[in-house]
Amino acid sequence: MERWLALLAGIVAVLLGALWFWLRGSPPSASTTDVTSQPRVFVVEIRDFYFDPPGLTLRPGDRVIWILKENANGDGHTVTAYHPSQDRPLRIPSEAAPWNSQLMTTIGQTFTQSFSVPGVYDYFCVPHEQQGMVGRIIVGEGIALTPDERGLPAAALSAIPTTAELQGHVGEAFNAIGLLQGVLYLAQQGQSASAWAQLRLLQKLVKEGQLAVALQQQGIQTALESRLAALGTLLSRNAPLTALEPTAAQIRTLLGRLTQGE
């Protein structure tokens, strides 16, 4: 009889635990998997006439999704690797395959690229390369970074983040912006467990390393952490994108303070 009571008590405890998770709204998978090793989703917004963020530092396996956000002139934008196949000098690892999104003209249109070969990747927008619409992605750690800037127009040279910037707190702030935009994208796609896991990565990023130091120097680390917690609360309630956006914009503004005037 006592064994049955113990079993019953065990079942009740499990059910209460499940109920607690359900009420809290946080997917159990997100709290049990190791969020630091899974592939991440970075979103780069395509605007008139720049990529936001203009640089990222990835681990092999990470995914980048570019989303067309602005097209005021109607001439569209592209996401195109610097490669001889595009009549440009080779500015991606020689073993990596080149890519070209073709002209994107519909707001909300996306282009996705996963990165596995370590190295430095430079890309540009075909119609607006001469206006400095370019970006740089570093994949992997401990890469010999000897940026050879031959073959870039002057406007592109002044707009492209340097490899030193990308490996410092500016690069970490760019990564945080890309991850934040990725959180919104995942939430919008209904992938709430992934959005939640990625938000935790973001929270970890602002607590550690060069980004944490830079935020402390600006006196905005606590404010940023509180906004991230607020975003987490909204996510756990499955709030619609329109409800997430104001908080995300506040986070974006705080992170932007670290990337200006560099």
Binding residues for Cu ion, rule: CB under 5 A, are 77, 125, 128, 133
Residue whose CB is less far from Cu ion, 40 or 77? 77
To the nearest 5 percent, what fractions of the chain are helix, strand and coil?
45, 15, 35
Residue whose CB is less far from Cu ion, 105 or 216? 105
HSE value, Cβ hemisphere, 13 Å, CA-based, for 199 = 32
Residue whose CB is less far from Cu ion, 152 or 258? 152
Distance of closest approach, residue 66 Cβ to Cu ion, in angstroms: 11
Residue whose CB is less far from Cu ion, 88 or 169? 88
> Which 8-state DSSP code applies to residue 97?
P
Q: CB–CB of 119/96 below 8 Å? A: yes
- Phi, psi (rounded to 5 degrees) for 153: -65, 160
Closest-approach residue to Cu ion (CB): 125
Distance of closest approach, residue 71 Cβ to Cu ion, in angstroms: 9
The DSSP secondary structure of 160-175, one letter per residue, reads SPPHHHHTSHHHHHHH
Distance of closest approach, residue 126 Cβ to Cu ion, in angstroms: 7
Distance of closest approach, residue 133 Cβ to Cu ion, in angstroms: 4
Instruction: Report the run of H or E that residue 56 belongs to, with start and end.
Output: strand 55-58
Determine the straight-line distance between the first and last CA of the chain, rounded to whole angstroms. 72
Distance of closest approach, residue 42 Cβ to Cu ion, in angstroms: 19
Distance of closest approach, residue 220 Cβ to Cu ion, in angstroms: 31
Residue whose CB is less far from Cu ion, 91 or 227? 91
Q: CB–CB of 93/118 below 8 Å? A: yes
Residue whose CB is less far from Cu ion, 83 or 128? 128
Residue whose CB is less far from Cu ion, 156 or 173? 156
Task: Return the exposure string of 131-154: e unless at least 16 CB atoms fall within 10 Å of the residue's CB, then b.
Answer: ebbbbbbbbbeeeeeeeeeeebee
- CA dihedral for 217, 223, 225, 228, sign (positive or negative): negative
Distance of closest approach, residue 85 Cβ to Cu ion, in angstroms: 19
